[in-house]
A = this chain, B = another copy of it.
Amino acid sequence: MENTNLIDQEQAFEESKEKIFELLEEKKYFRCRDELLKFNAVDIAELLEEVMRKYSMQTAIILFRTLPKGASVEVFAHFDVDDQVEIINIITDPEIKYIIEELDFDDMIDVLDELPANIVDKILDKTPKNERRQINTFLKYKEYSAGSLMTPDYINLRKNMTRREALDHIRDVGMNSETIYSCYVLDGGRKLVGVVSLRSLVLADENTKVSDIMKEDIIFAHVDDDQEETSELFKKYGFIAIPVVDNEDRLVGIITFDDILDVIEEENTEDMERMGGVIDNTDKDYLDTPVLMHVKARLPWLLVLMVSYVFTGGMIASFEKSLSAVIALVAYMPMLMGTGGNSGTQSSTVIITGMATGDLELSDVLRVLWKEFRIGIIVGICVSILNYMRIVAFDHNGSLVALTVCLSMVLIVIIAKCIGALLPMIAKKIGIDPALIAGPMMASLTDMVALGTYFTMARLVLKI
C-alpha cells in the first residue's frame, strides 16, 4: 500500500489477495511473501487462512515458512486455534520451540491449552523449570476466568523510583512486556500499591518520584472472576489494562484491552444465541462444528419446549367442542399467539439490554411494570382497533367473533408485556442468565396466556 495516497484499504486487500493467489498458482512463493509483508499481521493471518481453505494447509505452511521469523510468530498468534494446532502438528520441533518461546505469554497459554497433553509435555520438557512452573499455574486457571485471560508480562515498578529510574527500567524490560502503558507498583510482598501510566511518567518533571504520580484507587480483577465481569470493568472505566490479583491479594498478571475486545464479542454472541434458543458450548466456527454438535446445541431447547406444547395442546383439546361450534375462532389463534409472543419478546429484549448496560436495576421492577402496563394498553388498543375493522370488513365473521378476538388481543398484549418485563428480572434475581429466558421460553408462556385468555373471552362473549 502506498501511504502517500491512502487508497481504499479493503480494495487494496482484495487486489493483493488476487495477486497472491496468482503468484501461488505459479509457485512464486517469495514474491508472494513480499506481497504479504505489505500488510498487518492480522491481515497476513487472514490471507494465509484463505490459502488453507482454497489450496491446502501444506501450501499455507510453505508460505508461512517464508515469512521473517519475527513476523511469523505474530502471524501465528492471529490464526484460529484449530489452525494453530494443525500447524503445530505439521511443522518441525525446532520451529515449534521457536514459535512457542516467542509468543506472548497469554497467546502461548491459549495454544498450549488446546494441544494434546503429550505434545505439551514435549514442549515443556525443554523449558526452564521456573517458566514451566509458571506455565502450569496459568494452564490451571478456569476457562472463562480473568486468570485465563491474563499475562504475567507486566512492568513492575517501586514506589521510591525516580522518573528517570522508572523510564530506564521500562526500557530495559519493555521489549518483553505485553504493554508498557500501564505500570504496576508493588510492595515487598508483591502486593499492588499503585498504578502509573506511561503517560504520566513521560509528562512528569525530571525529579518526580513514582509515588508522587501513582494512582492508589486501583480497579482490579480477581483471578477467579468471570471474564464477563472483567469485561464490564473495561467498559466502565475505559482502561488500557487491568491488574489481576490472587487469593492473597498479590499481583499475578494483567489483562489488556485488546484481549477484552474478543471477550466482549464472545459474550455478545452467547447472549444472542441464548435468546435464540441455542446452547453452544464450543468456541468453534459454524462450519468447523460437526452436525451432531449443532444438534446437541439445539435439540435440548426444542425438547424442553415440547413440554409447554403438551399444555397448549391440552387447553385446545378441552375446548374442542366449543371450537367446532364456532370453527371460525381457530383462524385467529396464530395471530393472538404470535402477537402475544412478539409483544412479550419486545419487552424482554428492552429489559435485558437495559439491565446489561446498567440503565435498569432490579429495584426498578415496579416502575418497569407500570410502564409496560401503559405501553401494553396503548399498543393493544391500536392493534385491536385495526383488527376489528379488518375482521368485520374482510373476514365476514360476525361482530361478536371480532369482539372476542379484539378484547382478547388487548388483554394478551398487556399480560405478555408484563410477563416479558418481569421474567428477565426474576431470572436475574435468582441468578439465571436473563437471555436464557427471553427467547423461546417467552413464546411458550405467552402461547398459553394467549389461548387461555382467548377461550375465556369466547365463553364470556359468545356464550359457548
A residues in contact (CB < 8 Å) with B: 1, 3-6, 9, 38-40, 42, 167, 170-171, 174-175, 179-181, 187, 191-194, 198-199, 202-203, 216-220, 234-238, 240, 245, 249, 257-258, 261-262, 264-265, 268-269, 271-273, 275-278, 280, 285-287, 291-292, 294-295, 298-299, 301-303, 305-306, 308-310, 312-314, 316-317, 320, 323-324, 327-328, 330-335, 337-339, 341-343, 345-346, 348-354, 356-357, 359-360, 364, 367-368, 371, 374-375, 378-379, 382-383, 386-387, 390, 395, 438-440, 443-444, 447, 451
The answer to whether B261 and A379 have CB atoms under 8 Å apart is: no
Known A-B contacts A42-B237, A287-B360; A349 and B275 likewise in contact (beta carbons under 8 Å): yes
The answer to whether B180 and A298 have CB atoms under 8 Å apart is: no
Which 5 A-B residue pairings sit nearest by Cβ, starting from the closest? A276-B349, A238-B258, A309-B335, A285-B359, A316-B331
| Chain B residues in 8 Å Cβ range of A440 | 342, 345
Could you list some 16 contacts between A and B, CB below 8 A? A6-B220, A40-B219, A171-B202, A198-B199, A202-B202, A238-B258, A257-B257, A275-B276, A276-B348, A291-B374, A305-B339, A306-B386, A324-B327, A333-B334, A338-B444, A443-B443
Stoichiometry (number of copies): 2
| Chain B residues in 8 Å Cβ range of A199 | 174, 179-181, 198
Minimum CB distance partner of A358 in chain B? B46
Minimum CB distance partner of A276 in chain B? B349
Minimum CB distance partner of A269 in chain B? B353
Given A40-B219, A174-B203, A305-B339, 9 more A-B residue pairs with CB atoms under 8 Å apart are A3-B193, A268-B353, A275-B275, A276-B349, A295-B378, A313-B332, A320-B327, A323-B327, A334-B337
Known A-B contacts A305-B339, A352-B272; A3 and B331 likewise in contact (beta carbons under 8 Å): no
The answer to whether A191 and B383 have CB atoms under 8 Å apart is: no
A360 to B288, CA, bound (A): 11
A167 → B minimal CB distance (Å): 7
The answer to whether A342 and B301 have CB atoms under 8 Å apart is: yes
Minimum CB distance partner of A370 in chain B? B291
| Chain B residues in 8 Å Cβ range of A9 | 219-220
The answer to whether A181 and B198 have CB atoms under 8 Å apart is: yes
